Amino acid sequence: MPNNYQPDPKLKFTFGLWTVGNVGRDPFGGPVRETISPVEICDLLGEVGAYGVNFHDNDLVPIDAGQTQRDDIVRSFKRALKDNGLVVPMATTNLFGDAVFKDGAFTSNNAQIRAYAIQKTMRAMDLGAECGAKIYVFWGGREGVESDATKNPIDAIKRFREAINFLCEYSIEQKYGYKFAFEAKPNEPRGHIYFAVTGSYLAFIPTLDHPDMCGVNPEVAHEHMAGLNFVHQVAAALEAGKLFHIDLNDQEFGRYDQDFRFGSVNLKHAFFLVKLLEDQRYNGPRHFDAHAFRQSDYADVKEFARGCMRTYMILKEKAQRWNADKEIQQIVKTVNVQDSALSKLTAKYSKGNAQKLLDAPLDRIELAAAPLPYERLDQLTMEVLMGVR
């Protein structure tokens, strides 16, 4: 049967309210699309076949809403979720938009602002849990500095840890069952943001009171802004059992945070990313944290959303093709030289193994002569991607 690349619910394709609801504001210009309500966003996502929707507290409930307004909004949102067959896998807190957070939230120099940030997050966790969220994302957009004269970077780490430890206990006590996922970004909107890359969080997590509850939410654009190979960052998270969520989009290297449609810039990176996630049977949500071009109207925003999911589905098929390609697999097999006797020696240290290894007749000149037809392998990969294989 020909694949029509329809979004597969098993792949859990999600969008944030802020993604398809993005009105195209940038630092140099105001909105170019009218604001659409959370209910209208659910209708849009239902129409394109998404699996779920995520939100910041204030994407759904305005920061100054009273209890009745909040409850009315939540009621109509939940109805819209049901009408469109959507779920809410992830929620998060807006700790960056309001003026109070101009110098950070959990890492602010002001103890009262730090307390307010924790209070706001507890309320946002209540809201997320009410809508069914099980993953809670922390993106520290304002947790940084323009000048290191303004904040002690060691204090910042300690303050951040204290906030997370507090919120872990809150989640446990409320029985929310949240998994926390930390999202790194090197800069923008701050000159320098703490925990600049995913690896920073992977190193931070073991220092927390509840490391098992905590993982990462890497975003393509953010690691590319840092000039890193995103696939390798995701591999590190997967290998550590810490990939709790992922923000898929695309990004030119060396630019501002572009949040482009998934796979629209670096097709080869996107291919290896999809291949990694699928080969490793990643089972969490695949969240498209991206938005349409500023030129698009809402009809085109739907094309943008369909495009993210469709590209993923197509790349998943390409990965299967790569895995099934006889010539490709033959090369992979040839370059992965096996030697069970030596592997047994190096698998675990013992005095005896060390001695045997020291005595092993390993000839570096002979070893260096083994062929590595990587040009051929890479070209075959490109031909799979270009659709001629």
For 213, which DSSP code? G
**For residues 29 and 73, is the Cβ–Cβ distance under 8 A?**
no
Angular region, 49: left φ>0, alpha ψ -120 to 50, beta rest: left
User: Between 122 and 226, whose beta carbon lies closer to Mn ion?
Assistant: 226
* Count, residues in the chain: 389
Which one-letter amino acid corresponds to residue 223? E
Cβ-in-10-Å burial (0-12, 13-18, 19+) of 36 comes to: middle
CA 304 to CA 92: how far, in whole Å?
23
Helix (H, G, I), strand (E, B) or coil at 135: strand
Q: With contacts defined by CB under 6 A, how many residues of the chain interact with ligand GLT? A: 10
Phi, psi of 42 (to 5 degrees): -60, -40
Q: How far apart are CA 15 and CA 87, in angstroms?
A: 11
Q: Say which entry of Mn ion, ligand GLT, none residue 18 contacts (CB below 5 to 8 A, set by partner kind).
A: ligand GLT
Total site size for Mn ion, rule CB under 5 A: 6
Measuring CA to CA, which residue among 389, 372, 221, 242 is closest to residue 319? 389
224 is catalytic: no
**Subset of residues 275 to 294 that bind ligand GLT, contact rule: CB under 6 A:** 289
Residue 92 binding ligand GLT, by CB under 6 A: yes
Q: Report phi then psi at 75, rounded to 5.
A: -60, -50
Question: Active site includes 257?
Answer: no
Catalytic residue among 56, 222, 224, 291: 56
Q: Which of residues 229-248 bind Mn ion (CB under 5 A)?
A: 247
User: What is the spatial distance between Cα 311 and Cα 274, in angstroms, rounded to a whole number?
Assistant: 10
Build a one-symbol-per-residue string for 6-45: x at contacts with ligand GLT by CB under 6 A, - elsewhere: ------------x---------------------------
By beta-carbon proximity to ligand GLT, the closer residue of 44 and 385 is 44
- Shortest Cβ contact with ligand GLT: which residue? 139
Q: Is 223 in the site for Mn ion (CB under 5 A)?
A: no
Tokens of 384: 């799979």
Answer for which of 57, 59, 103, 219 binds ligand GLT (CB under 6 A) is 219
Q: Which residues pair with 135 in a beta bridge?
A: 90, 179
Of the residues 137, 216, 237, 308, which one makes contact with ligand GLT according to CB under 6 A:
137
In the shown chain, the binding pattern of residues 252 to 291 toward Mn ion, with x for contact by CB under 5 A and - for none, equals: -----x-x-----------------------------x--
Residue from the set 13, 77, 101, 139 that interacts with ligand GLT by CB under 6 A: 139
Among 60, 95, 216, 221, binds Mn ion (CB under 5 A): 221
Q: Among 229, 221, 382, which residue's Cα sits nearest to residue 289?
A: 221
CB nearer to Mn ion: pick between 230 and 322: 230
195 binds ligand GLT (CB under 6 A): no
Contact 180, 164 (CB under 8 A): yes
Binding to ligand GLT in span 40-59, by CB under 6 A: 56
From the list ligand GLT, Mn ion, none, which binds 223 (C-beta under 5 to 8 Å, kind-based)? none
Residues in touch with ligand GLT (CB under 6 A):
18, 56, 92, 137, 139, 183, 219, 247, 257, 289
**Which residues carry out catalysis?**
56, 59
